[in-house]
Amino acid sequence: MSDIEAKVLPLIRQTRGMLMPSYGKVENVEFKSASGHDVVTELDRSVERFLKAELQTLYPDVAFVGEEYGGDRNAERFWLCDPIDGTGLFIRGLEGCTTMLALVENGQVNFGVIYDFVKDIAYHAERGKGAFAGKTPIQVSTRPFDKSYFCYETRARNPDDERRFLSLRRSTHLMKVMCAGYEHVLVATGKVEGRVNFDPWGKDYDYAAGTLLIEEAGGIVANLSKRTYDYHNYNYIAANPDSFKALTTNRRVERALSDRVAQRRLSQGQPPILLPCG
pLDDT, position 276? 23
pLDDT, position 33? 59
Instruction: Delineate the domains of the chain, giving CATH numbers in brackets.
Output: 3-137 (3.30.540.10), 145-267 (3.40.190.80)
Q: Give residue 54's identity as a one-letter amino acid code.
A: E
For residue range 40-68, what is the model confidence (pLDDT) as tens digits?
999 999 999 999 999 999 999 999 999 99
For residue range 71-118, what is the model confidence (pLDDT) as tens digits?
999 999 999 999 999 999 999 999 999 999 999 999 999 999 999 999
Q: Whole-angstrom Cα distance, residue 185 to residue 140?
A: 10
Confidence of residue 30 (pLDDT cuts 50, 70, 90): confident
pLDDT, position 255? 64
Q: How many angstroms separate the most distant Cα atoms in the chain?
A: 58
Q: Which residues contact 261 (CB under 8 A, 6 or more apart)?
A: 225, 255, 272, 274
Q: Whole-angstrom Cα distance, residue 211 to residue 214?
A: 5
Alpha-helical regions (H) of the chain: 3-13, 15-19, 42-58, 87-92, 159-171, 180-188, 204-216, 241-249, 251-257, 259-267
Q: Structure pTM?
A: 0.89
Strands 70-71 and 136-137: unpaired
Helix 3-13, helix 42-58: angle, nearest 10: 150
For residue range 154-203, what is the model confidence (pLDDT) as tens digits?
988 888 888 888 989 998 999 998 899 999 999 999 999 999 999 999 99
pLDDT, position 261? 43
